[in-house]
């Protein structure tokens, strides 16, 4: 990717505090994450449960309070904003959530939910304009305008997720942060929603941060992919390069473990991998060291940093040349 980044994240840290008995432990959900998001691209964030991918998305937009870091957007730091300034920036940075059942207010009509951002920011000059905008937006996500008067319980999961996307594009934002937008959907509906996102991205010139645990979905939709493990980005690269020649041993393990829909290609059994360590007692060195086939002494003591490799790829691993 070239050009100026539309969003530039540096040193983002978000810590949750978890109580176990009488003690409180810090859980570093996101630990020193930096990346650039370029205009018009889809950047995928992928990783397993608890790797911090969702927290990255929520911290950028201020839904989770970041402890440190800098999120540059339009010449200022989003993390330093509050009140009206933050609300205004959120018009241009919107979120699509995972569970279309939980993220819509059951007592609001679909039309009211879709128009909510516009209502709050007084963007509609008249009732007629509001109705027209709602109807246009519903059509652009593939729903009939008559859905405006219906309620969430009348809709299927796929339709609700289309409403979730409609809410995020009225008015048209610069950036959409989509957090597992297709995880709750069946595969045939998932394909419809992925197509819709690709179509909207092209039509409206959106930039999308696409967060998912599913490497196949991320690989299908993204231009670049960032792989997260226990709060850190371990590798970030152009999507097809990441797939064809993954650098980091964790990326390799992840790609290997995905069950391939072809009986002739055997997926890895993952037996050597074991399970991830507790987030409450982080390892002193590389957080992947205890599961890594390439681990050496230095990995157990010194955390690796994200380094540059050929073709603009970056990975955090001591074992790579």
Partner 1 sequence: MLSVQDLTVSVVTGHEPLKITQNLSFDIAEGEILGVVGESGCGKSMTSLAIMGLLPSKQIEVQTGRVLLGGADITHLAPHERVDQGVSGVSMIFQEPMTSLNPVLRVGDQIIEALMVHDKTNGRDPVARTRELLDLVHIPDAGLQMNAYPHELSGGMRQRIMIAIALACNPKVLVADEPTTALDVTVQSQILSLIRELRDELSMSVLFITHDLGVVAQLADRVCVMYAGQIVETADVGTLFENPVHPYTHGLFSCLPDPTRRSELLNPIPGQAPLLADIPDGCAFAPRCSYVSDNCRSGAIDWTPFEPEHQARCHHPLSGGLKK
Interacting residue ranges for partner 1, rule: CB under 8 A: 48-49, 156, 158, 186-192, 194-195, 198-199, 213-217, 219-223, 239-240, 243, 253-254, 257-264, 266-271, 273, 275
User: Minimum Å distance from CB 220 to partner 1?
Assistant: 4
Q: Nearer Cβ to partner 1, position 34 or 183?
A: 183
The alpha helices in the chain, defined as continuous H runs, are 53-61, 83-92, 110-120, 127-140, 157-168, 187-204, 215-221, 239-244, 249-257, 297-301
User: Minimum Å distance from CB 252 to partner 1?
Assistant: 11
User: Minimum Å distance from CB 52 to partner 1?
Assistant: 14
User: Minimum Å distance from CB 305 to partner 1?
Assistant: 24
Tell me how far CA of residue 69 lies from CA of 66, 83, 211, 225, 269, in angstroms: 7, 19, 20, 21, 38
User: Minimum Å distance from CB 33 to partner 1?
Assistant: 20
Q: Nearer Cβ to partner 1, position 92 or 220?
A: 220
Comparing CA positions, the residue from 54, 75, 59 lying closest to residue 12 is 59
Q: Nearer Cβ to partner 1, position 37 or 78?
A: 37
DSSP code of residue 125: S
Rg, Å, the chain Cα set? 21
Comparing CA positions, the residue from 180, 169, 243, 248 lying closest to residue 209 is 180
Which 3 state secondary structure label does DSSP give 259? coil
């Amino acid at each position: 990717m070239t050009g100026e980044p539309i969003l530039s994240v540096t040193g983002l840290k978000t810590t949750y505090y978890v109580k176990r008995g009488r003690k409180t432990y810090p859980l570093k959900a996101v630990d020193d994450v930096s990346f650039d998001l370029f205009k018009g691209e889809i950047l995928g964030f992928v990783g397993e449960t608890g790797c911090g991918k969702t927290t990255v998305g929520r911290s950028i937009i201020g839904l989770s309070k970041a402890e440190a870091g800098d999120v540059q957007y339009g010449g200022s730091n989003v993390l330093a904003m509050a009140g009206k300034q933050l609300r205004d920036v959120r018009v241009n940075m919107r979120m699509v959530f995972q569970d279309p059942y939980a993220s819509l207010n059951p007592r609001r009509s679909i039309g009211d939910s879709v128009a909510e951002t516009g209502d709050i920011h007084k963007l509609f000059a008249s009732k007629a304009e509001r109705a027209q905008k709602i109807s246009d937006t519903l059509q652009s996500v593939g729903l009939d305008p008559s859905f405006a008067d219906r309620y969430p319980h009348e809709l299927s999961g796929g339709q609700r997720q289309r409403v979730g996307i409609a809410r995020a594009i009225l008015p048209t934002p610069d950036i959409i942060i989509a957090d597992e937008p297709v995880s709750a959907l069946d595969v045939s509906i998932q394909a419809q929603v992925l197509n819709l996102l690709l179509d909207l991205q092209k039509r409206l010139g959106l930039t999308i941060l696409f967060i998912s645990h599913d490497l196949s979905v991320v690989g299908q939709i993204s231009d670049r992919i960032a792989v997260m493990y226990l709060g850190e980005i371990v590798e970030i690269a152009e999507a097809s390069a990441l797939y064809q020649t993954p650098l980091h041993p964790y990326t390799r393990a992840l790609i290997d473990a995905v069950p391939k829909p072809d009986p002739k290609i055997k997926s890895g059994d993952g037996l050597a991998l074991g399970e991830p360590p507790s987030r409450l007692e982080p390892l002193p060195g590389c957080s992947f060291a205890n599961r890594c086939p390439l681990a050496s002494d230095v990995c157990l003591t010194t955390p690796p940093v994200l380094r540059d490799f050929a073709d603009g790829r970056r990975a955090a691993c001591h074992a790579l040349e």
